[in-house]
Amino acid sequence: MALPNIKEQIIATGANVEVRVGVNSATPEKTIGLATNVSYSENFQVQDAVVIGHLGPVSIDPNGYNCEITIGTFIPAKRVTGSKQYEGGGSVTLSELLPTRTDVMEAGKPKGFQYLDFYNKKEKVVLAAFSGVIVTDDGMNIDGNAYAKANIQLRALERTL
């Protein structure tokens, strides 16, 4: 007997997933091309309520939240072309959207996106969505025997889906 999840292809395949950024979920403006891996991590800081005479806490209270997104991308060679098309149908690379120090200093805060999601283009479903996303860290890794890659860290105000 085959498992229904595998037979019906409910399990998402990474090659079908795009990273999209934009103003809101109804109108994601750009699809990020050349993303090699994406992940997110939510952390709920909690406080144990410990009472004398009880083994373990009597309740656990939330008192903080942190959501981090990590995206690894290939870095395209800079070329002057009329239209850009990246692997996976992307219209822009995330490295093209990164703020400079001047951008951050003039704006007073890191450059960000109102909306970011991980979209399964084959099944036409959003796997995870985030609001209030800002770039917090980026770096480049160049190896003589491999492609140049960027590792970009972002933080979100919340995961909305």
pLDDT, tens digit, 9 for 90 and up, residues 93-135 = 888 888 888 888 887 766 788 999 999 988 899 999 999 999 9
Q: State which residues form the domain around 60.
A: 4-159
| Backbone φ and ψ of 18, nearest 5° | -115, 155
Other beta carbons less than 10 A from residue 129's beta carbon: 19
Closest CA to 10 of 120, 161, 117, 116: 120
pLDDT at 72: 93
Judged by average pLDDT, the poorest of 6-20, 41-55, 114-128, 146-160 is: 6-20
Residue keyed to tokens 């093209």: 96
Residue keyed to tokens 């806490």: 57
pLDDT at 10: 64
Measured CA to CA, the distance from residue 122 to residue 114 in angstroms comes to 25
pLDDT at 88: 67
Long-range contacts of 102-107 (CB under 8 A, 24+ apart): none
pLDDT at 101: 85
Measured CA to CA, the distance from residue 22 to residue 113 in angstroms comes to 6
pTM here is 0.84
pLDDT at 4: 53
Judged by average pLDDT, the poorest of 20-29, 64-73, 98-107, 152-161 is: 98-107
| Number of domains comprising the chain | 1
Report the amino acid identity of residue 157: L
CATH code of residue 109: 2.30.110
pLDDT at 94: 85
